[in-house]
Amino acid sequence: MAEELIIEQSATKAEKYKSLLPQIEALIYGEEDVTANLANIASALKYGMDFFWVGFYLVKHDELVLGPFQGPIACTRIALGKGVCGTAWEKAETIIVENVDEFPGHIACSSDSKSEIVLPAFKNEKVALILDVDSDQLSDFDEVDREYLEQLIKLIEKFL
């Protein structure tokens, strides 16, 4: 297992993802514990991509419950259809929000969060968890993030 990530900071966003994803795959290879894998993935994304906040919400009964994350403290529970995470869960689709203040019903876990991308991961064709990535910059996420983070989701779904 690697002790550090190797990411060229002057690389483009796509180049960073291309470098990071194989390192994440190597990091979690052979580890069966979901919590350990999600914790390492959150850390790798936070520090590899320099995101403001990265974390997972796990579907437990009728709500999302905070799982492993990196960044400022976060909301602990989110209802189905509430905020960006609850909406991504309800719709079972990736959501990119350019300005969280303009998202109806946004839950402000941190007032420093300005934009967000939220992706569902599936187990047995049902949403099992949500990957939530926040930025302290407006319009920080785009189709490049969607493409590579959806690749990451496919990797996560293998160990759920």
Q: Where exactly are the structural domains of the chain?
A: 13-157
Q: How many CA atoms lie within 13 A of 40 on its CB side?
A: 21
| pLDDT tens, position by position, 81-125 | 999 999 999 999 999 999 998 998 777 777 789 999 999 999 999
Q: How much of the chain is helix, strand and coil, in % rounded to 5?
A: 35, 25, 40
What confidence score (pLDDT) does residue 28 get?
94
What confidence score (pLDDT) does residue 110 get?
74
Residue 77 and residue 66 in contact, taking contact as beta carbons nearer than 8 Å: yes
- For 13-157, the fitting CATH number among 3.30.450.40, 3.30.470.10, 3.60.20.30, 1.10.540.10 is 3.30.450.40
Task: Tell me how far apart the alpha carbons of residues 35 and 120 are, in angstroms, rounded to a whole number.
Answer: 17
What are the residue ranges in the chain where pLDDT is below 50?
none
Query: Where do we find the tokens 């796990």?
Result: 58
What confidence score (pLDDT) does residue 105 get?
76
What confidence score (pLDDT) does residue 108 get?
73
